[in-house]
Structure 1
Amino acid sequence: MFTDYTSSKDTDRRPVDLTALGVQDLLRLDAAIIAELRRRGLVRTSNKPLGDVAEAVVHAARGGVLEPNSTRSHDITAPGGQRIQVKAMGVRSAGTAAKFSAFRSTDFTTAVFLVFDLDFQLIEAREVDAADIEQTKVVAHVNGRQPTLRWVRSVGTDVTAEMQAAWTRINETST
């Protein structure tokens, strides 16, 4: 329980019990907080913990080892030794032209791409071989390969049901 929260208008300390919220509810709260901070002109980006959550989803689905953040080129080592890179995005107004974050190395086996809607429902998941990603062009200003959602849909294998099941388990067990 987070107990140091007070509003400048409050005279008493009212704790906010975040432990009672599921992962999806915490993400919604985070989105609302970031949106309000942007409205107030206090933050310029909408960086979210979505990438870390996506890694947890793929790890829950595939098992293995969730690698430390400093591990180069992959996020998960599956039980069979496959190295998995995880990419995630929230639905954006750019539609299928929206780009995932850049790949600066393809020293992994596959990449799993997760797409969440504005309510943090996992709506799509695709898996793409590293060899396919190597065929995309390097974008100079990000110094890496930056696939679009359209491209991922065109070459990726649909793993949505598998990842949605893992997402559901995470939401059910995290409260």
Structure 2
Amino acid sequence: MTSPLISKSLLQEELEACSVADLLLRHTQIHEALLARGVLRSANSPTGDLAEYLFCRAFGWQQAKASERGFDATGADGTRYQIKGRQIGRGNASRQLSAIRDLQGGHFDVLAGVLFGEGFKVLKAALIPVAYVIGKARFSPHTRSSIFMLRDEVWQAPGVRDVTAEIEATLR
């Protein structure tokens, strides 16, 4: 196998020579390959599916059906996890996670959140008790959902577990 640096350089040259149509075709082919491997579960942006895959793989959680309401996975002890990911990078520093529906409904016990950087590099990941999420989230009447920001302060909150190393190791 070639060196990652050589591969990256050759790949970059090859990609720069591609037309937009060729790049989009490759994107589709890569997405389909990740679907076939079980890393992704939908045709959506890979951020959420990748987050679910990494947390379930890292901790041995059972992934819920794609249509399950209010939680994404269950631990061996019955703990229900809502899993969210956010990709931040050039031109987008927002740490706002996707909508949390019916936050007060008791659908999950722990929010598992991960921040990805460029190229889906794991920046930070945490397991956050639902009580903390309820206390810090704000309700958006427009989307009829709760909004939660995965700010740095979350990692210092009582009951929050930093799992960055575990999630990072799973991606390797």
TM value normalised by structure 2: 0.65
2:166 pairs with 159, 162, 169, which one?
162
Separation in structure 2 between the aligned mates of residue 167 and residue 79 of structure 1, nearest angstrom: 22
Bigger Cα displacement from structure 2, 156-165 vs 72-81: 156-165
CA displacement at 1:166 relative to structure 2: 1.7
Structure-1 residue corresponding to 2:82: 85
Residue in structure 1 matched with residue 147 of structure 2 by the alignment: 146
The amino acid that maps onto 1:114 is V
Secondary structure of 1:112's match?
strand
Between stretches 131-140 and 82-91, larger displacement belongs to 131-140
Deviations 1:73-99 (A, max 9, x none): 11011111110110001114343x531
Normalized per residue, the structure richer in helix is: 2
Contact 1:133/1:145 (<8 A) preserved: no
Unaligned runs of 5+ in 1: 1-6, 10-14, 24-46, 169-175
Deviation readout 1:106-135 (Å, 9 max, x if unpaired): 311101111111121111101211111122
Deviations 1:54-87 (A, max 9, x none): 1000000111311111101110111111101100
Distance in 2, matches of 1:105 and 1:153, equals 24
1:61 counterpart residue number: 58
Residue of structure 2 in register with 1:105 after alignment:
102
Question: Which residue among 44, 48, 52 is the counterpart of 2:49?
Answer: 52
- Secondary structure of 1:161's counterpart equals helix
In the alignment, structure 2 segments of 5+ residues that lack a partner are: 1-18, 35-43
Show the counterpart of 1:42.
none
Aligned residue pair count:
130
Alignment correspondent of 1:137:
138
Residues 19-77 of structure 1: CA deviation (Å, up to 9, x unaligned): 8xx96xxxxxxxxxxxxxxxxxxxxxxx6111111100000011131111110111011
Question: After the TM superposition, which segments of 4 or more aligned residues of structure 1 sit over 2 Å from their partners?
Answer: 92-95, 151-157
The alignment partner of 2:118 has SS state of coil
Root-mean-square deviation (CA), in Å?
Answer: 2.9
What is aligned with 1:26? none
